[in-house]
Amino acid sequence: MSGPRVRQPRDPAAPLEGARITLCVGGGIAAYKAAQVARLLDKAGAIVDVAMTKRAQKFVGPMTFQALTRRPVFTDLFSLTDEANIGHIQLADTADLVIVAPATANIIARLAAGAADDAVSSVILATKAPVLLAPSMNVNMWSHPLTQANVRRLVDVAGYKTVGPGTGFLACQWNGPGRLAEPTDIVEAAAHYLSVQDLAGVKLVVSAGPTYEAIDPVRFVGNRSSGKMGVALAAAARRRGADVRLILGPSAIPPPLGVTTTSVESAAQMQWALADATKDADVVVMTAAIADYRPAHAADQKIKRGEIGQTMTVELVANPDLLAELGKARGDATRPLLVGFAAETNDVIENARKKLASKRCDLVVANDVGEPGSGFAVDTNHVTLVDRTGAVDVPAGPKSVVAHRILDRVVALRSGR
């Protein structure tokens, strides 16, 4: 007899790879978005089993999910073939995680009452796996005290997790909370609950992006940093349970869900935001490409163009080195753990070692920004981790994966390894 699956925390860089997910689809208009959730889970390497309520099948056909997951769909608790082929206990036992999307007011009420009267509720009541609810319903149904009490009961008594609902314009023409969380956010929540939580409760500050130093109200001195590496680090730390504050310079990259973000423009603004954020931080990761110089005098009004051939001089003054200031302020204390980046084009390791010492940090992530597929504005990176014990090369890869390998080192340094 096969018992329930033993659930282990997974590599946070790919927690869905090979994970068994049971996706329970409720009968609401957002059921069509559950197809996208199934698609994204499958793309991330999960083995997805779908169970649907009768009402869900009125909105989307089981065939859609069968085609997306390449697996039979469980629709009827009382069907001899469904129970024989799939079986609600098997779906409950094999799951690493159960996702309910959309979790309608009706499903939530039935689950809160401990009901097990159809394919979906019987899988959920029987499972020992974590259950993630993605509520979706009319705004008044959501705010109804009974629905709120039911959700609280599921969270407090049964330990269920929730993602969303989002706020916006709903299919019922109301505007407000009740919208199914974005499929990408549901999948990220799933990744979070499957991942090892080795940064749980850790207060981690990430600075990211470039800074813009004003010449006049419309012009600035800046650099080519996109913010991708820093945003990837913030998302990765959040997935591992950290309480993340992101201080983000001008960047087109959207900040990750669940991260407290402060948007800044100049090095001076970044300095103020950092002073506040780092007060009680456990870890500070300085990914930001902070401008080393700013115009000495920013004009109040737009500077007018001159004659052809006329020259113009912008006098620059050096900005403070924010990481070095943090290192100095920390002195001999061990908190916060300080991580710097070193963007180099030559003598990468040697220069990174110098920065490790001069900025008094614990780890320097050395980056050859001249190497193709590495550094600014690309989705991949190739870095070397330099600390007092030596230098370790991280295989080139997507910034989302490299971020986790950097955090692995942060976790190790925090535990004195």
Contact footprint for ligand CTP (CB under 6 A): 267, 286, 288, 290, 292, 319, 321-323, 340-343, 355
Q: How near is the Cβ of 213 to ligand CTP at its closest, in Å?
A: 11
Q: Which is nearer to ligand CTP, 62 or 249 (CB)?
A: 249
CA 374 – CA 229 distance, rounded (Å): 10
Q: Which is nearer to ligand CTP, 37 or 285 (CB)?
A: 285
CA 395 – CA 96 distance, rounded (Å): 29
Q: How near is the Cβ of 379 to ligand CTP at its closest, in Å?
A: 20
Q: How near is the Cβ of 209 to ligand CTP at its closest, in Å?
A: 10
Q: Which is nearer to ligand CTP, 152 or 224 (CB)?
A: 224
Q: How near is the Cβ of 316 to ligand CTP at its closest, in Å?
A: 13
Q: Which is nearer to ligand CTP, 88 or 355 (CB)?
A: 355
Q: How near is the Cβ of 412 to ligand CTP at its closest, in Å?
A: 20
Q: Is 159 exposed, middle or buried (0-12, 13-18, 19+ CB in 10 A)?
A: exposed
**Which position among 172, 303, 317, 392 bears the catalytic label?**
172
Q: How far apart are the first and last CA of the chain?
A: 42
Q: Which is nearer to ligand CTP, 88 or 360 (CB)?
A: 360
Q: Which is nearer to ligand CTP, 198 or 321 (CB)?
A: 321
Please indicate whether residue 172 is annotated as part of the active site. Answer: yes
Q: Which is nearer to ligand CTP, 99 or 323 (CB)?
A: 323
Q: How near is the Cβ of 306 to ligand CTP at its closest, in Å?
A: 31
What sign results for the dihedral spanned by CA atoms 259, 243, 228, 196? negative
Q: How near is the Cβ of 320 to ligand CTP at its closest, in Å?
A: 6
Query: What residues act catalytically?
Result: 172
